[in-house]
Chains A and B, each alone.
Chain A
Amino acid sequence: MTLVAVCVATAIVSLLCGSVLALSAPVERRLTWAIAAVSGTVMLVAAALITIDVSRNGPAFAFNDWVYVDALGVIVADLVAVVGLLAIVNSLPYIEHEIGRGEISPRRARQYYALVLAFLATMFAVPVLNNLGGVWIAVEATTIVSALLVSIHGDKAGLEAAWKYLILGSVGIAFALFGTMMTFYAAEPILGDSSKALNWTTLRLVADQLNPEVMRLAFVFILVGYGTKAGLAPMHTWLPDAHSQAPSPVSALLSGVLLKCALVPLLRIGVLADLSVGGAFRDNALMTFGIISIGVAVPFILVQGDLKRMLAYHSVEHMGIIVLAAGIGGPVASYAAILHLVAHSLTKSSLFFSGGAIVQAYHSRRLHRLQGLIRRTPAGAAVLLIGVFGLAGFPPFAMFVSEFGLISGAFGEDRAVIGVAGLILIVLAAAALLYHAIDTAYGGRVSGSERRPIPRTAVVTALVPLLLATWVAFAPPAPVRHMLRDAAAVVQV
């Protein structure tokens, strides 16, 4: 058994065992959290070992080719592990506060930790699976588990959000299944009807022989299907509801990691479609959905009065940016797409960690009720504002580098018009975000005595991903830079 096989198995088994233990072991609540923390740590160590192995020896297969870990898989698995462990750490004060206020029962708290671990297990499987059927099963499993997390509070709004998420997510993912079947249909005459005909690595080798008509239809279904799950407009309508109603550490996982997991099969099958159909079919499809997603998000961000919904709409925008950059293609824009994927994952999870704690401290998500934040919650406001500047793409934050890469790539690939259009929309969204953030932090008339601090854990868990994102963008060590470059190469032809 190879190191990668052991690590993948250890991470997933540890999370699933932790999930069962958290649900069934009759232990004190903090011990349930400790079980989750141990499982999350094991996942992180396993992900680190996989990263080192792939960095040194290149992509690796395991379990009779069911598992294939390349640079793209490593990066997304690492994001699952890092944000996952931070979310578990952030959950301790969050859930204790919810129990204290009677928002959630101690029994529900155990279910929460069990579901979070199961959610992480399903997400960890997505980027490391080679078989496209297996990837579909894992993505659908993420929907089922996370829908239960969205409604963990048991209130009306949570129920509505979970219902919409489950139904729209399942329909979207059903479209992706049809696209997967079409891919299998196109491959069967060449590869036969064994399960290997659904392995991405095998399909990649014969992609130029796949029937272009069938692959064109397959990619349309894949784009709509996994695009729904990735929050691309106009299939994004479930996203603001689910991401705003979920407990904040779960919002961080949904926005920060799950959306990226859904992008992995979309981008991988996109490569097959590009090789099969040729021309600019895939690129145009990606750029269209990218620009629509950015454009749709802008007015909703501008008029938004709810902190978590505003962050959720920003996820629609940023998923659009990633897809737009991938569609522009070429080495620079593809690198920008992967870097933006990493930067958004870390920055958005940071904002949900700090924003979630602030929402708890004020018992409200409404921006006008949070006014005067900088005087009432200095540490929370500071870390939230740092995150906001990161999300708006200011230097020295990671998104400045990725968005600059998008524009440079657009000019380099003779796609300047769409690049500039994207940039204008990105600037509008950033301006709207900054307006709301500064008004919330400095606006309103409040006395300095109304202090509402947030837990130190929330501040730390919000700062760590921001520092990581900045480090990865501006001063990545050679192996990290190579990993990003290799991942960019995976998504281009």
Chain B
Amino acid sequence: MNATTVADTVNTLAIGMVVIGVLLVWTRWPNHAVALVALQSILLATVGLVTAIHTHHDQLYVGAGLVLGVKGAALPALMAVLIRRARANGEMPSAVPRALGIGAAVVVSLATIETFSGDPFQTALGATRALPAALALILLGLQVMMTRHHVVAQITGFLVIENGMALAALTATYGMPLVIEFGVLLDLLLAVMVAFVYSRRIHEVHGDLLTTVLRELRG
């Protein structure tokens, strides 16, 4: 693969991740959200693989494998189990009308990609859209978490933010130093596992996975 092909491929994959992020804002069903975040993680792993093949950085193969195994397979499988056990595949209510949500997601994503495609945010690969796409993913993840009142939406939103950061790390600097990457991934895994534990507790106590039941503490 020559440099231009690599840059075009990474750009396309990054934009694909943003499109999936926008679809996550649009979807109403928890199992669809989980499938979308798994697909997004697979695209991220592909970015890692393409970068690894092009740059011959061995640690990127490890990183791509970890992303594929953990975020592309293990965590979505765990979430699917959580949804099935809780019988909580009902609609995820939105705090804003869906049309407004999807409109805001598209506008903010396009504006972010356009604004930050300038010179200082070039990646070493020459993929001009990768870093702005990462920033857009962080904002989309935040939007999902803020507007969807469902435990699954909050976890998937967090994973979208995390995918955005991983995309930035992969394309901007070929990843952080490996020891830091491992530490970060371990911490994030632990955080998601603890979130799973709490999801189960919320279901046990409230009989639901809607975060609207968490309204006791005010003022």
Contact = CB atoms under 8 A, between A and B. Distances in A.
Interface of A: 131, 133-134, 136-137, 140-141, 143-144, 147-148, 151, 156-157, 159-164, 166-167, 170-171, 174-175, 177-178, 181-182, 184-185, 188, 193-195, 197-198, 211, 213-214, 240-241, 244-245, 300, 303-306, 309
Contact of B120 (A137, A188, A195, A211): A211
12 contacts: A133-B176, A137-B184, A151-B198, A157-B217, A167-B145, A181-B168, A181-B172, A185-B168, A197-B177, A198-B176, A213-B121, A304-B219
B57 to A, nearest CB: 9
Interface string B179-194: 1100110111011001
Given A181-B168, A185-B173, A213-B120, A137 B180 contact: yes
Contacts of B201: 151, 159
A412 to B, nearest CB: 35
Main secondary structure of the interface of B (DSSP, over half): helix
Interface string B202-219: 100110000100111101
A175 B162 CA distance: 9
A440 B180 CA distance: 50
A300 B219 contact: yes
A161 B217 contact: yes
* Best-surrounded residue of B145, B162, B174, B183 (most CB of chain A within 10 A): B183
B120 A194 contact: no
A156 B165 CA distance: 33
A178 B138 contact: yes
A315 B5 CA distance: 53
A157 B174 CA distance: 43
Nearest to B57: A193
B205 A156 contact: yes
B40 interface: no
Contact of B198 (A166, A177, A303): A166
Contact of A309 (B180, B202, B216, B219): B219
Contact of B180 (A133, A159, A170): A133
Nearest to A137: B183
Complex A-B, nearest 4 residue pairs according to Cβ-Cβ distance, in ascending order = A133-B180, A195-B177, A137-B183, A213-B120
Given A144-B187, A194-B177, A166 B195 contact: yes
Contacts of B138: 174-175, 178
Interface of B: 120-121, 134, 138, 142, 145, 154, 158, 161-162, 164-165, 168-169, 172-174, 176-177, 179-180, 183-184, 186-188, 190-191, 194-195, 198, 201-202, 205-206, 211, 214-217, 219
B86 to A, nearest CB: 15
Contact of A195 (B162, B174, B179, B205): B179
* Best-surrounded residue of A133, A171, A241, A244 (most CB of chain B within 10 A): A171
A210 to B, nearest CB: 11
B219 A174 contact: no
